[in-house]
Amino acid sequence: MAEKHLIHVDEWPFEVEFERLGNGEGATRLRLDPEGAWRTVELHRVRAGLHVLMIDNRPLELYLERRRGGVDVTIGRRTYHVQIGRGRRATRARSHAAADRDGLVRIAAPMTGSVLEVRTEHGAEVAQGDVLVVLESMKMNNELRSPVAGTVERLQLTVDAEVEEGAELVAIRPAERQTEA
């Protein structure tokens, strides 16, 4: 079964699908585009830091160095900083939701994109994990889920709206704070 992950390469987000192959050799299939072709990839360690990445049986030499928050990948003379988010939807919701002094949890756009769907409305009760908004960015659909159970206090978007990274999309009053307000 394929797993979806959000990968940032030098701050550019990509949604990647991985699927481990049952051949016992550590091969994996991946694709960068939901409509794209699957590629077979294997990573072989040559020595500390130096690896060979086989992509459809074509070798690519790269140097990997763990850094705080990710990995630096050097290919030729170019180095890329790569961050991989496991459990893409949960990680994205947590990383782009913040509680402010007023107790509201704000969900911000994790990237610039277009609003494809708005699945909630002002005053709606939402459960943790509910899909609130679907954004399209770089030909990929990204579901933004509620990180908390509560009531939608603000909804600042409409279908087909263009949003910038970091723009507030939804503000939720968490259920445990509703009695305090």
Interval 67-112: pLDDT, tens: 877 888 999 889 888 887 644 443 343 334 445 557 888 888 888 8
pLDDT at 3: 78
- In one-letter notation, the amino acid at residue 80 is Y
153 φ/ψ sector (left φ>0, alpha ψ -120 to 50, else beta) = alpha
Q: Is 25 in contact with 15 (CB distance < 8 Å)?
A: no
pLDDT at 119: 94
Q: Is the pLDDT of residue 60 over 60?
A: yes
Q: Extract the runs of DSSP E, i.e. beta strands, from 21-69.
A: 28-31, 39-47, 50-55, 58-67
Q: Tens digit of pLDDT for each residue in 113-169?
A: 899 999 999 999 999 889 999 988 877 888 888 888 999 999 978 899 998 888 889
Q: Per-residue b/e over 172-181, b at no fewer than 16 CB within 10 Å?
A: bbbeebeeee
Would you list the domain boundaries of the chain? Answer: 3-85, 88-178
The domain defined by 88-178 folds into OB fold (Dihydrolipoamide Acetyltransferase, E2P) (2.40.50)
CATH code for the domain defined by 3-85: 3.30.700.30
Q: Is 47 in contact with 53 (CB distance < 8 Å)?
A: no
Nearest-angstrom CA–CA distance, 50 and 69: 20
Q: Which residues pair with 59 in a beta bridge?
A: 54
Q: Is 173 in contact with 150 (CB distance < 8 Å)?
A: yes
Q: Which two tokens stand for residue 12?
A: 């550019």
Q: Nearest CA to 121 among 163, 167, 159, 175?
A: 159
Q: Which two tokens stand for residue 16?
A: 């990647």
Nearest-angstrom CA–CA distance, 13 and 18: 16
